[in-house]
Amino acid sequence: MSAVLVLVLLLLVGSNARQVEPYVPSGAADGAPVAAPNGVPNDAPGGATGESVGAPVGAATSAPSPIPVPPPAPVSPSPNVTAATAPPIPQTATGSGPPPMTTPPSMVVTEPEDVEPSPCVHVGEEHCPPPGELCRCKLIPGTATVICCDVTTQLQLKESLNCQGLVGVNITALHARNITLHSLDVGVLHLTKLHLPQLESLAITDGHITELKGLLDAKNLACLNLSSNSLIDVSENTSAYLHSLTNLDLSGNDLKHVLTLHADVPQFELDISGNNNLSCDSIKELMKYMKNLQFSHDNNTYCLNPSSFHWFNSTEKVPLASVVLLNKLEQECPRGETEPCICKAVRLDMVPGKPPTFSVQVDCSNRRLTKLPLILPKNTVSLNVSYNNISNLEALSMNAAYKDIREFYADDNQITSINALEGSTFIVSFLTLSLRNNNISILPTYILSNVFDLNWTARTVRLGLNHLKCDCSTAQTIKMWLNANYKHIPDYNEVLCENMRERVFELDQNKVCTVPSDWTEYVYYLVAAEVLLLILLISKVSYDYWVFKTAGYLPWPASKMPKLPCDWVFES
């Protein structure tokens, strides 16, 4: 009876052993060694030790039994588990290599399907070698990644990278943590047994390094992480051969200038956050030749305010977003015939919840322009096109790029009329309109009168050195209009006459408003003379008739007049 009970107990133990599902990585070759959880190797058959394959560490083992225990049923790999691939490990002299190891859970990074995986490898400090070990570098199990920790000299770094456990392994990622050196020469990596051309990720983080120098010849390096080291300077030739670099992390340092980059890649990601002394000029210079540059943590990135950023008089730091906007502003700035115009931000408007907005000033003066620029940067509020050959102002009223213009300067051009401004958005909202020394000969005052009638003293119009056609109407209307609006027209006394050497505001109506003499004004004199002669003639005839009746003769000159053929009628 006791034998039967023992047999039943043994069968129950075997059944429970079969119910424990081992951890088998997906895609592993049949018959290959399988790593247990937590990195515990299973280099012996389960039957030899009494442990089930993949059983948790610390699980009870079955005691030896004279009755054979059936082997566990085959287990299908789980479709949700991804195998961690490890590089080939050279065999030892006995023909058996070190046991295979899986990737630790902290090293597994799951990327979204539609996002390209990052080339950067970052290893947590929990994977560092124990403090007592002489070799400060070790290979992360199941990967091609090496981590080095707590290095204090370059010699120690070199010797640690030449440790026996790293020889013969094709390392693609290296992470050095907590290096304490005043100056680190990355050229020391060339003196190790690392095959640098295969290196894809290099991280030197969380240390105390003041200067980084040396040439880093790693043509396949895609990620360089130098964050959190208190770096003040990085040598320019460090990145001279990093043509495949796509990610550079310089955050958490004390750099003054951005590292010069030579990468030729479709997209480059740069993190320069946490550098409190970084120059804005160096960032702008970098953006000029790297059109595909993208910044990480740009909301926490600031740079020092150089003197050219004069609108930041009351602050020491400029947000990176503002520098990016300035770079875009320079790219959108119009060009003249010989050189580009000058675009400057004159005011920064920061509204909570919205990106910062610059008000832009564009200077296209003396650029040999024959017409107004077709394209202007967004939010352009001031445009100067003086000293060119522009002849009309149609773009100012018809081009949507001019909708924000508040100040317009077009002195010393060939402009002949302001009629194009009638009914435009500009004429309603402008603050300054300067058209000095152009070819304006007729000034339709009604276009500007409606604006001046609003009694907004901030509006200014400059029309000096234009030559108007002066006549009586000019003296009666334009002169009075200029005098009445002298607050809006500072140079009202410089508007000249085209057909006389006079200033408009000095015109005398008594001189200008005279009508030229012609023959019609003599008609009245002729009529008066004829009436007078008629009166004299009638008087003479009346007198002669009276003398003839009273004295019987005709006075002179009637007595001397020859007889006419009709006189016989009167004699008879």
Q: Where are the domains of the chain?
A: 125-322, 333-512, 519-555
Cα separation, 543 vs 555, in Å, equals 9
Residue 177's contacts (CB-CB under 8 Å, 6 or more residues apart) are 123, 125, 128, 147, 148, 149, 150, 205, 206, 207
Instruction: Determine the pLDDT at residue 62.
Output: 36
- pLDDT at residue number 384: 97
**In this predicted structure, what is the pLDDT of residue 11?**
47
Task: Report the SS3 class of residue 1.
Answer: coil
Q: Could you say which architecture CATH assigns to the domain 125-322? A: Alpha-Beta Horseshoe (3.80)
For the record, the structure tokens of 126 come out as 């929990």
Rounded distance between C-alpha atoms, residue 189 and residue 215, angstroms: 10
Cα-to-chain-centroid distance, residue 126: 42
Give the CA distances from residue 267 to residues 76, 121, 226, 270, 528, in Å, rounded to whole numbers and listed in that order: 42, 19, 19, 10, 101
Give the single-character DSSP code of 512: H
Going from the first residue of the chain to its last (572 residues), give the mean pLDDT of each consecutive group of 10, the final group possibly shorter: 46 43 38 38 37 34 38 39 36 40 42 60 93 91 93 93 82 94 91 83 95 90 95 90 92 92 87 92 87 90 67 64 83 84 79 73 94 92 96 93 95 95 90 96 90 76 95 90 91 93 89 71 83 91 84 76 65 56
**CATH says 333-512 is which class?**
alpha beta
What backbone phi and psi angles, to 5 degrees, belong to 500? -160, 155
Q: What is the pLDDT of residue 135?
A: 93
Q: Which pLDDT value is given to residue 467?
A: 95
Q: Give pLDDT, residue 516.
A: 63
- For residue 356, the model assigns a pLDDT of 65
Note the pTM of the prediction, 2 decimals. Answer: 0.56
pLDDT in the model for residue 29: 38
Give the Å distances, CA to CA, from 468 to 109, 227, 337, 404, 476. 78, 69, 31, 30, 14
How large is the C-alpha radius of gyration of the chain?
50
